[in-house]
């Protein structure tokens, strides 16, 4: 097996695991959103429960996916705080890519305007690739020490 083939296989493994963790993150996100909304509604904050709940659920889900990717996808042992903040920032940008592409397609492509799920799907795929690339090459990049 060549080095290039080995690197490609490792990247494929990472992408696959990243996708599984992202799917689990979706479940965490949704669960926390509904729980937060129920608590906020019970406290009398019905008008803002969706928005505050969404902020809470995104932060919990992003933290969950960061921890799982740190452990299972990229095996990084660097100090966590800066890395967590970088992960949150890169995922926020990835979210903008996702939503921005979705709305752009919905405005300019009649088929997507008729079937918004197409825009959601394209946005999610673009966001997935952006977030994976940002995670692999920025957030979890390996630091190599120069030989003495």
pLDDT one-digit tens code per residue, 68-82: 999 999 977 778 999
User: Of all residues in the chain, what percent are helix, strand and coil, respectively (each to 5)?
Assistant: 85, 0, 15
Q: What average pLDDT does the structure give for the chain?
A: 90
Structure tokens that stand for 48 in this block = 């803002």
pLDDT attached to residue 142? 74
- Tens-place pLDDT, residues 116-132: 889 989 999 999 999 99
Q: With cut-offs at 50, 70 and 90, classify the pLDDT of residue 1.
A: low
pLDDT at 147 over 80: no
Q: Is the dihedral of CA 113, 118, 121, 122 positive or negative?
A: negative
pLDDT attached to residue 143? 57
CB 114 within 8 A of CB 104: no
pLDDT attached to residue 76? 73
- What are the structural domain ranges in the chain? 1-75, 77-148
- Tens-place pLDDT, residues 32-56: 999 999 999 999 999 998 889 989 9
CB 86 within 8 A of CB 69: no
User: Alpha-carbon distance 127 to 138, whole Å?
Assistant: 15
């Amino acid at each position: 097996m060549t080095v290039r083939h080995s690197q490609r296989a490792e990247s494929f493994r990472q992408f696959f695991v990243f996708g599984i963790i992202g799917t689990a993150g979706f479940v965490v996100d949704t669960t926390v959103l509904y729980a937060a909304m129920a608590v906020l509604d019970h406290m009398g904050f019905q008008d803002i429960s969706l928005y505050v709940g969404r902020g809470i659920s995104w932060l919990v889900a992003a933290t969950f996916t960061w921890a799982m990717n740190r452990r299972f996808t990229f095996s990084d042992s660097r100090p966590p705080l800066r890395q967590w903040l970088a992960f949150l920032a890169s995922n926020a940008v990835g979210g903008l890519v996702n939503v921005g592409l979705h709305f752009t397609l919905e405005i300019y492509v009649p088929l997507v305007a008729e079937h918004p799920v197409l825009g959601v799907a394209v946005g999610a795929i673009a966001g997935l690739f952006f977030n994976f690339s940002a995670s692999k090459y920025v957030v979890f990049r390996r630091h190599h020490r120069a030989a003495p």
